[in-house]
Structure 1
Amino acid sequence: MMDSSEASHQIIADLLAARTGQHLTESRRWRVNSALAGIFREHGISNVDQLVCLLAQPRAGPESPDLSQDVVEALLNNETYFFRDKPTFDQLPHEVLPELASRRAHAKRLSIWSAGCSTGQEVYSLAMLFAEQKERWAGWTIELLGTDVSNRAIRAARSGLYSQFEVQRGLGVTQMLRFFDETSGGWQIREEPRRMAHFRQHNLLAPHPGRQPFDLVLCRNVLLYFDRTTRAAAFDRLASAVAHDGFLMLGAGETVVGQTDRFAPCPRRASFFEPLQDARQPRLMRAG
């Protein structure tokens, strides 16, 4: 039989899974108390047992704060930085985007989705790539969408305002000076990259947020928080979101092998995967 704290931790874990699909494994439960410390202070409590009691109380009204959402937000890992995993990211401007450009030369339109974009650095990194190749992409329509299950992260992404520490993670001095203005509140991203980027809250397990499939989907370091069953469901959602001749980009060290039959690895392109037209009859993959 579980003691009260164990039962309370399980309730918190179930809440996170229900809202986000993320699985709070035993190895991750050690950080629950530290992640929730701010909520404990705000409500004058000291442990998860008391928190669960508060969660069981009805909300005062529809306009009152949603404690359960605050708990979920606190437990989410929003770790990110500009041009994360640079060797992998460098494949975009030098290999992947040029190939997509040749496939979309007639339409001159590219749509890219960053699923689990956190506070926006990944989307703005993409915007900077396109801005740095302005002549190459002249006349093109570039659509960059970032989504995250966290409202708090999406608000931060939309603001485009970052601390000194955040802009120094992944950005060179030249990029900082070209694409950001230093303000009293932090480093504000400039209009050129900002106007390409759009953000909205979205759960990866819901139908994809585009009007049509995307040419490129980035879903990096998100699926590792799902259990095997939920991860398979997420891959199904991602498969419906990627154009038949588009690409899926996962995090460094992540793979589809043994996880799903909806994608296959791209030869000689680490962390990039192609959708299979028919999972029962895999198509031949292009070399590249």
Structure 2
Amino acid sequence: MTPGDNEGACRILVGLLEARTGQALAPDRIWRIETALKPVMRNHAIDTLDSLVAKLASEGNRGLVDEVIDALLNNESYFFRDHIVFDELNDRVFEDLRVSNAATRTMSVWMAGCSTGQEAYSIAMMLADAPHKWRGWTIRLVATDISHSAIVKAQSGLYTQFEIQRGLSVTRMVRWFDQEGSDWRIKEELRNRVDFYQHSLLSQAPPAGPFDVILCRNVLLYFAKAVRTEVFSRLHSVLARNGVLGLGAGETILGQTEDFVPSGTYRGLYRRADAPAARARPIAAAK
């Protein structure tokens, strides 16, 4: 069976995904629909996409709708993904925040579109690995995703052997995880450092803002241009005046928003367009 056999059903499901999440499924990715939804259909004894759409319409079953949306979302993630970003945060951004926020000893980081939690726990590990630097500080790590199942998994902190090996060093695996059968669970100490919420980027920002750092990586590329512009505006409204924004490697602000400009200080990061540009310093100075 191909999407063409269920063209009407595919259009409805694409529209449902965009209405609920803002994510637009490109025409060349329509083939994903049936493959992604097969487990949901099997669990509910539904034979075809047309039957699935009919069931969604007739029952108004919110649980089934959530399952369908979760299945269509791309929750690909792994620890320390694009390590250059994490190096820049750890070696330069956080070091500068230790200076600029020294009076209050507070720092807030929002990971928007956190998927199953690897990005958030990567940040938590970096900070926990340097307790002498952050002793006496109040650090709020907020991680959000629109997928209910992704947030549940992130909160559990339980990962398979395959997931634990993606991007994570053996040293950190042994230090921060306990083995449970063939899986690995992150230690409670680290889980307690991150607040996970189910949240849409089209909704009001979560509490704890303004944020010193916002990571919204590999999320906006799935949105239509008008939605991306709206999301950029929302991110701008809760980013601290001297805060930084991180996007995915394949994402850009060019032609998308006037709210942000390249940082000029930190490699691959962005600042608010209405914030003064900080004087760049050599990377070596942050070591």
Shorter-normalised TM range? over 0.9
Match of 1:156 in 2: 153
Match of 2:120 in 1: 123
Contact 2:78/2:119 (8 A) holds in 1: yes
TM-score by length of 2: 0.93
Question: Per-residue displacement from partner, 1:135-184 (whole Å, max 9, x unpaired)?
Answer: 01111111101100011011001101111111100111111000001112
> 1:68 corresponds to which letter in structure 2?
V
Choose which of 134, 138, 143 in structure 2 pairs with 1:141. 138
Match of 1:251 in 2: 248
Match of 1:182 in 2: 179
What SS class does the counterpart of residue 15 from structure 1 fall into?
helix
Match of 1:235 in 2: 232
Cα 1:12–1:115, aligned 2, differ >3 Å: closer, same or farther? same
Contact 1:179/1:189 (8 A) holds in 2: yes
Q: Offset of 1:13 from its aligned partner?
A: 0.6
What are the ranges of 5 or more consecutive residues in structure 2 without an aligned counterpart? 282-287
- Root-mean-square deviation (CA, aligned residues, Å) is 1.7
Q: Offset of 1:80 from its aligned partner?
A: 0.3
Residue pairs, 1:49-88, within 5 angstroms? 49-59=50-60, 66-88=63-85
Question: 231-240 or 35-44: which moved more?
Answer: 35-44
Question: In the alignment, is residue 287 of structure 1 matched against residue 280 of structure 2?
Answer: yes
Residue pairs, 1:2-17, within 5 angstroms? 5-17=6-18
> 1:189 corresponds to which letter in structure 2?
I
Question: Per-residue displacement from partner, 1:25-55 (whole Å, max 9, x unpaired)?
Answer: 1011111110000112122233211111111
Question: In the alignment, is residue 202 of structure 1 matched against residue 190 of structure 2?
Answer: no
> 1:26 corresponds to which letter in structure 2?
P
Counterpart CA distance in 2 for 1:268 and 1:257 is 18
Cα 1:7–1:215, aligned 2, differ >3 Å: closer, same or farther? same
Question: In the alignment, is residue 169 of structure 1 matched against residue 166 of structure 2?
Answer: yes
Q: Offset of 1:258 from its aligned partner?
A: 1.6
Cα 1:27–1:3, aligned 2, differ >3 Å: closer, same or farther? closer
Match of 2:129 in 1: 132
Counterpart CA distance in 2 for 1:283 and 1:78 is 35
Match of 1:20 in 2: 21
Contact 1:123/1:197 (8 A) holds in 2: yes
What SS class does the counterpart of residue 141 from structure 2 fall into?
strand
TM-score by length of 1: 0.92
> 2:162 corresponds to which letter in structure 1?
F
Q: Offset of 1:192 from its aligned partner?
A: 2.7
Q: Offset of 1:212 from its aligned partner?
A: 2.8
> 2:197 corresponds to which letter in structure 1?
R
> 1:70 corresponds to which letter in structure 2?
E
Counterpart CA distance in 1 for 2:137 and 2:152 is 28
> What count of residue pairs does the alignment treat as equivalent?
279
Contact 1:55/1:67 (8 A) holds in 2: yes
Match of 2:284 in 1: none
Higher normalized helix content (fraction of residues): 2
Contact 1:255/1:271 (8 A) holds in 2: no
Match of 2:37 in 1: 36
Q: Offset of 1:185 from its aligned partner?
A: 5.9
Match of 1:105 in 2: 102
Q: Offset of 1:245 from its aligned partner?
A: 0.7
Contact 2:81/2:167 (8 A) holds in 1: yes
Counterpart CA distance in 2 for 1:147 and 1:227 is 20
Counterpart CA distance in 2 for 1:246 and 1:268 is 12
Contact 1:88/1:252 (8 A) holds in 2: no
What are the ranges of 5 or more consecutive residues in structure 1 without an aligned counterpart? none
Contact 2:264/2:277 (8 A) holds in 1: no
